Amino acid sequence: MRRFIYIFSLSAFLVVLWVFILPLVAIAPAGQDSYGQYAGKQAFHTLYEAYGKDQCCIKVLLKNNNIYLMSSATGSPDSETMLPVSVISAGSTKLLVNKDNSLPGEYVPPGLTSISSKVVKLEYAGLKLCPGTLNALYTMIDAAKKDGIHGFIINSAYRSITAQQQIFDSNLSSFTKTSGTYEEAYASTRQLVALPGNSEHHTGLALDIFSINGRHRNDFEDSREQLWLKENLQNYGFIIRYPKDKTEQTNTVYEPWHIRNVGIPLSRYLHEQGLCLEEFYDRIFAGHVIEDSESIFLGIKDKQKVFASADIMQEVRLETVNTGNCLLTINNCKKSQ
């Protein structure tokens, strides 16, 4: 009898497993992203629809794992007539540099230009930025002056690998004098300074900006300059790269002075949503299409290509994030209701 009950229970268990549990496992998206399931399709699959300028409909389509962008004015989708969207790599404002993502040692941002001390005070001469970031900075500084904020001072901008190494070594040597062990000194240095190769200053898109009334790190916060900066920087393409409530995600202590150019509209989207760059890219590369009030963002992964019809090409930007990944931004469009 006991043997019968055992066999019966085992059979019942197997039936339940077969009928209810296995189908659930089989359809569960095992790490699949939101559009991964259509990746192998030979025909056009509509991922997303939005309204572009003049209420024309913009379609985001997927075929053979490639992305096709077209407006309703183009007619039916035709992969023959759509043009490849070229990737902006050198000088991309979408670069991700952190402890897991470094730039090649030989990377030099294109067109590095010295910041003019006529526009903004400099703590050191010869600080340089990429041209687009320099223009964004000048526009922001002018706007601040119009609001009566005149006290910004820049302490650091582009840093080559050699400069990063020197800063790391000098911090390590100061901490060694005050710490009990080398390990403690190293840990304190790492808290404050990125490892050479992993500093965002290498991109030419980041700078450290302070107030002449609160020049030192600890008294920048709540200065008039800092209060203006945190309210307005997103309108000039900048973000506070290491926010107070995101130290776990960024793996970097709160730095109200370290600002980074990611370009508009991404700067506004991150500001509105209260997201740091790491969180945004985690979502994007999990396969989510993200829209803000005026733009659509899509993550483009290794080997995926993007094509667009000629009439919307000027609204499309494809920019390098890190090895094998790009961010696709479609400007001037709103989600279809």
Residues that bind Zn ion (CB under 5 A): 208, 258
319 given a catalytic annotation: no
**How many CB atoms are located within 10 Å of the residue 33 CB?**
14
Report, in Å, the least distance between residue 158 CB and Zn ion.
11
The nearer residue to Zn ion, 158 or 269, going by C-beta atoms, is 158
66-71/45-51 β-pairing: unpaired
Nearer to Zn ion, 145 or 244 (CB): 244
Contact between 248 and 254 under an 8 Å Cβ cutoff? The reply is no
As a whole number of angstroms, the distance between CA 28 and CA 164 comes to 46
- Whichever of 208 and 315 has its CB closer to Zn ion, that residue is 208
CA distance 66 to 199: 33
Q: E-assigned strands of 37-179?
A: 45-51, 57-63, 66-71, 83-84, 113-114, 121-122, 128-129, 152-156
What is the nearest approach in angstroms of Zn ion to the Cβ of residue 241?
8
The rounded Cα 26 to chain-centroid distance in angstroms is 34
* C-alpha pair distances (Å), 337 with each of 50, 210, 278, 334: 8, 44, 29, 9
**Residue 121 or 301: which CB sits closer to Zn ion?**
121
Residue closest to Zn ion when measured from CB atoms:
258
Is 259 or 328 the residue whose CB approaches Zn ion more closely? 259
Shorter beta-carbon distance to Zn ion: residue 258 or 317: 258
DSSP helix/strand/coil, 219:
helix
Minimum distance of Zn ion from residue 111's CB (angstroms): 21
Q: How does 256-276 read in b/e, with b if 16+ C-beta sit within 10 Å?
A: bbbbbbbbbbbbbbbbeeebb
How far apart CA 149 and CA 143 sit, in angstroms, is 9
d(C-alpha 296, C-alpha 298), whole Å? 7
Q: Which listed residue (225, 255, 315, 319) is catalytic?
A: 255
CB of 130 to Zn ion, least distance (A): 15
Q: How far is the CB of 268 from Zn ion (least distance, A)?
A: 22
From the CB of 159, what's the least distance to Zn ion, in Å?
A: 9
Distance CA 153, CA 130 (A): 18
Question: What is the set of active-site residues?
Answer: 255
